[in-house]
């Protein structure tokens, strides 16, 4: 989920902690638990700082080790130890238990996004991405604001927060049902599809669709059970050229291929350079495919510049590559 949603989730969980008699009656424990729950709701996303290095590192590692089983166990322990030093007299076990729940919920809700997490590490490096909830879901965010607003009006937080969680369980079940119906409609529309990727959007009934058959890639949108296909690309393996081999060793393209399950490629001769471009088909927006990986390879099979990430114009891509095309 996005940072804003994780924050409101942390505040809601802080309200629920007041149902714990120790938290509600001991001032030091209240302060420590509230602080631990908020920090715990955000801690796994500390790997966002990897963006400061480069997109390749961020794409390969975001929601990786920081969302793993060891991390879910270590975050609460580290946070609780620090808080016990900063807020003497707080109950270590109560702070740890509520902080653990905050960290666990952060990782748990992230697996329902299309991006997913490596929540099964160290047992598996597979990305767990169920893809029923958008990274930012307006319904989930709004429901939290309503519950917090009722709490702010003086109602005991346990009532609106518990009601919120019950409603959210039903909301998630509905999202699963809608996605299943969309997938069935896609298979009816493309009977020979052997791979179907359905990703949520911020709109409840609208979903992104990318599918592959033995011969073609298909890209479209679903609105309810109505499927609209926008593009169809011939499915071809990457050519066995030395320029392609060199490009695929670049960290940006390796990050892209580790993340993207369905993409097409383009090879373009630009002066003395060969441009190898990989284009993710899952994120079509207004006729454009913004998530790409690009490498320029010279005659000596050296990658002279490369980039992976979200780009919405060729000019911005060239600036990222620090490349000036010949007129």
Query: Does pLDDT of 326 surpass 80?
Result: no
Give the residue ranges of DSSP H helices in 53-132: 55-61, 69-86, 92-110
Q: Nearest-CA neighbor of 210 among 266, 281, 130, 280?
A: 281
**170: number of Cβ within 10 Å:** 9
Q: Nearest-CA neighbor of 267 among 237, 223, 230, 225?
A: 237
Query: How high is the pLDDT of residue 323?
Result: 65
Q: What is the mean pLDDT of residues 166-183?
A: 96
List the beta bridge partners of residue 310.
291
**314: number of Cβ within 10 Å:** 9
Taking only the tens place, the pLDDT of each residue in 209-247 is 999 999 999 999 999 889 999 999 999 999 999 999 999
d(CA 132, CA 10): 21
Contacts of 269 (CB under 8 A, 6+ apart): 275
Query: How high is the pLDDT of residue 318?
Result: 79
Q: Nearest-CA neighbor of 210 among 264, 248, 255, 257?
A: 264
d(CA 87, CA 29): 8
Taking only the tens place, the pLDDT of each residue in 257-283 is 988 889 999 999 988 899 999 999 998
Question: What is the DSSP secondary structure assignment for residue 215, as one 8-state letter?
Answer: S
As a whole number, the mean pLDDT across the chain is: 91
Query: How high is the pLDDT of residue 311?
Result: 86
Which own/partner contact pairs does 123-127 have at CB distance under 8 Å and 24+ positions apart? 123/69
Query: How high is the pLDDT of residue 327?
Result: 45
Q: Nearest-CA neighbor of 71 among 115, 110, 20?
A: 110
CA dihedral sign of residues 31, 32, 34, 39: positive
d(CA 63, CA 57): 12
Q: What is the mean pLDDT of residues 170-183?
A: 96
Query: How high is the pLDDT of residue 52?
Result: 65
Taking only the tens place, the pLDDT of each residue in 32-46 is 999 999 999 999 988
d(CA 152, CA 245): 59
Whether the CB-CB separation of 296 and 323 falls below 8 Å is answered with yes
Query: How high is the pLDDT of residue 117?
Result: 87
Query: How high is the pLDDT of residue 183?
Result: 94
Query: Does pLDDT of 205 surpass 60?
Result: yes
Query: How high is the pLDDT of residue 114?
Result: 85
Query: Does pLDDT of 206 surpass 90?
Result: yes
Residue 223, SS3 per DSSP: strand
């Amino acid at each position: 989920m996005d940072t804003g949603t994780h924050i409101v989730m942390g505040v809601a969980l802080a309200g629920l902690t007041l149902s714990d008699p120790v938290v509600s009656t001991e001032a030091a424990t209240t302060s420590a638990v509230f602080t631990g729950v908020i920090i715990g709701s955000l801690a796994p996303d500390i790997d966002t700082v990897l963006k400061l290095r480069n997109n390749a590192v961020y794409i390969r590692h975001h929601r990786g080790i920081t969302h793993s089983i060891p991390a879910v166990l270590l975050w609460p322990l580290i946070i609780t130890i620090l808080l016990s030093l900063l807020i003497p007299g707080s109950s270590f076990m109560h702070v740890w238990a509520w902080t653990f729940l905050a960290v666990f919920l952060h990782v748990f809700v992230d697996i329902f996004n299309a991006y997913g997490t490596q929540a099964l590490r160290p047992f598996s490096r597979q990305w767990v991405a169920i893809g029923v909830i958008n990274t930012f879901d307006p319904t989930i965010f709004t429901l939290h604001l309503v519950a917090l607003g009722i709490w702010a009006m003086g109602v005991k937080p346990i009532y609106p927060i518990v009601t919120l969680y019950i409603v959210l369980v039903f909301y998630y079940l509905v999202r699963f049902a809608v996605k299943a119906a969309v997938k069935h409609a896609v298979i009816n529309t493309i009977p020979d599809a052997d791979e179907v990727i359905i990703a949520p959007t911020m709109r409840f009934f609208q979903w992104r669709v990318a599918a592959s058959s033995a011969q073609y890639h298909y890209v479209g949108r679903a609105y309810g059970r109505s499927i609209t296909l926008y593009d169809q690309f011939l499915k071809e393996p990457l050519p066995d050229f030395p320029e392609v081999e060199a490009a695929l060793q670049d960290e940006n393209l390796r990050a892209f291929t580790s993340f993207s399950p369905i993409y097409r490629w383009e090879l373009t001769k630009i002066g003395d350079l060969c441009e190898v471009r990989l284009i993710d088909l899952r994120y079509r927006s207004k006729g454009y495919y913004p998530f790409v990986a690009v490498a320029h390879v010279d005659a000596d099979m050296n990658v002279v510049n490369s980039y992976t990430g979200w780009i919405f114009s060729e000019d911005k891509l060239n600036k990222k590559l620090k490349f000036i095309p010949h007129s």
